[in-house]
């Protein structure tokens, strides 16, 4: 988890240089929220549509200078030191996540937004209804973990 966090913070630092505060979500975002290693396969970030439209090429150049490898431009994926960083656009996930009014977090001098526990729960419950995902066992396990966390009275 420490190595993934290091790569995540390097990525966010570059985004912050563009005055972008990304949203961290997915399995690693949930790992951070629960302070529990959920063995995330990748790092998932949400970016504003306008940033990707207007400054994507400039961002790609900065990422390459920081030794990230562009794996897939159409899917907005980079890799570094064995870790994959994927980006989604706000408009692509708005049916799953309300990207407004998220808590801003500062960690090691970089800023990002995170989902609350309740928002993570809603996200995974919606994902579990997606027929393309086939109600993966991992999604169900995350839902149960979040419910247990919420029962403990933490947001």
Question: Percent of the chain beyond pLDDT 90?
Answer: 73
CATH of the domain at 23: 3.30.460.40
User: Where residue 153 falls among pLDDT bands split at 50, 70, 90?
Assistant: low
- According to the model, what pLDDT value does residue 73 have? 79
Chain segment 114-133, per-residue pLDDT in tens:
999 999 999 999 888 876 66
For residues 87 and 66, give the distance between their C-alpha atoms in angstroms, rounded to a whole number: 17
- Residue 144 covered by a domain: no
Report yes or no on 135 lying in a domain.
Answer: no
User: Does residue 151 sit within a domain?
Assistant: no
Q: 111 and 148 in contact (C-beta within 8 Å)?
A: no
Domain presence at residue 152: no
Which range marks the domain in which residue 88 is found? 2-115
Count of domains for the chain: 1
pLDDT of residue 132: 65
Q: What is the reported pTM?
A: 0.91
In a domain, 30, yes or no: yes
Q: Are strands 103-107 and 110-114 parallel, antiparallel or unpaired?
A: antiparallel
């Amino acid at each position: 988890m420490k190595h993934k966090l290091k790569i995540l913070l390097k990525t966010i630092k570059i985004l912050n240089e563009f005055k972008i505060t990304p949203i961290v979500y997915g399995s690693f975002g949930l790992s951070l929220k629960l302070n529990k290693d959920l063995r995330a396969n990748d790092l998932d970030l949400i970016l504003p549509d306008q940033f990707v439209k207007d400054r994507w090429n400039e961002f790609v150049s900065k990422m390459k200078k920081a030794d990230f490898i562009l794996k897939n431009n159409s899917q907005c994926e980079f890799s570094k030191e064995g870790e994959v960083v994927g980006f989604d656009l706000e408009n692509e996930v708005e049916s799953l996540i309300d990207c407004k009014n998220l808590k801003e977090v500062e960690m090691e001098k970089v800023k990002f937004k995170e989902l609350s526990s309740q928002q993570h729960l809603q996200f995974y419950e919606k994902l579990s209804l997606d027929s393309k995902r086939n109600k993966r066992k991992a999604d169900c396990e995350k839902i149960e973990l979040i419910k247990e966390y919420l029962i403990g009275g933490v947001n």
